[in-house]
Amino acid sequence: MEGVSSTEDSGKYQQILDAAIGLFSERGFDSASIQDIAQAAGVAKGTVYLYFKSKDDLMDQVYKHCYELDIKACGAGLEKESHAIDKLCLRMDNIIEYLLTHPKEARIEQMYKLSISGKKVSSFYQEEMYQAIYGIVEEGIGKGELRDMPAALLTQIYYGMANGLYHGFQDDPKLWQQKKIREQCHQLIRDSMANRLS
């Protein structure tokens, strides 16, 4: 939030951001205008431009905000786990919990990645997410906790499973409430990635 220092300015910035999240997730980026967002935020249209240079800048800032929430949520509690497979299972839980508790933000992340597919900023954010998983996998292989496979390949296997589960629970959120289903998801990760000798 460049150039915003006072509590009042910070509050208005957040109002606009929250309004944009609501409208973008509901209507899509193209169908929500700056005027619509200003009205939803309870500010004048010109006020939006005090905080955001353009609609594209607003979209970028909204995505960055949602992405940072996602990153923080995904990493929650991992430092308390000592075994790589437990970290990977917890990370999957965190991903699903984030999806179900922040559906608007999760939808914006998906839409944004599709809308700027191939652009540098998208690949940077995806790379950061990938590297966080890769670090856990590489450490787990080094300790003999995960299968002795190339770390990049094992990371892609996990990434594919997590992505599939993410979309599966998005389609049917009630499944996540079933303890047996959650345990089976953990077992799927263990069966696919854990070193059976460890």
Fold of 1-52: Arc Repressor Mutant, subunit A (1.10.10)
User: CA geometry: angle at 187 spanning 182 and 189, to 5°?
Assistant: 100
- Find how far residue 185's CA is from the centre of its chain: 19
What is the pTM assigned to this prediction?
A: 0.81
Residue whose entry in the numeric block shows the structure tokens 């077992």: 187
Cite the DSSP H helix spans in 82-178.
84-101, 103-115, 120-142, 151-171
Instruction: Give pLDDT tens digits for 161-188.
Output: 988 888 888 889 899 999 999 999 999 9
Picking from 109, 97, 108, the residue whose alpha carbon sits closest to that of residue 73 is 97
* Residue 173: strand, helix, or coil: helix
Number of residues that this document lists for the chain: 198
CATH architecture, domain defined by 55-193: Orthogonal Bundle (1.10)
Picking from 55, 57, 25, the residue whose alpha carbon sits closest to that of residue 38 is 55
- Stronger pLDDT, 68 or 5, i.e. the higher one: 68
The stretch 14-38 carries a mean pLDDT of 95
pLDDT of residue 10: 78
Place 117 in a pLDDT band, splitting at 50, 70 and 90.
low
The residue ranges of every structural domain in the chain are: 1-52, 55-193
pLDDT of residue 127: 75
Q: d(Cα 28, Cα 150) in Å, to the nearest integer?
A: 39
Instruction: Give pLDDT tens digits for 139-163.
Output: 999 999 999 999 999 999 998 898 8
Least confident span in 124-128, 138-142, 188-192: 124-128
- What b/e readout covers 78-100, taking b as 16+ CB neighbours within 10 angstroms? eeeeeebbbbbbbbbbbbbebbe
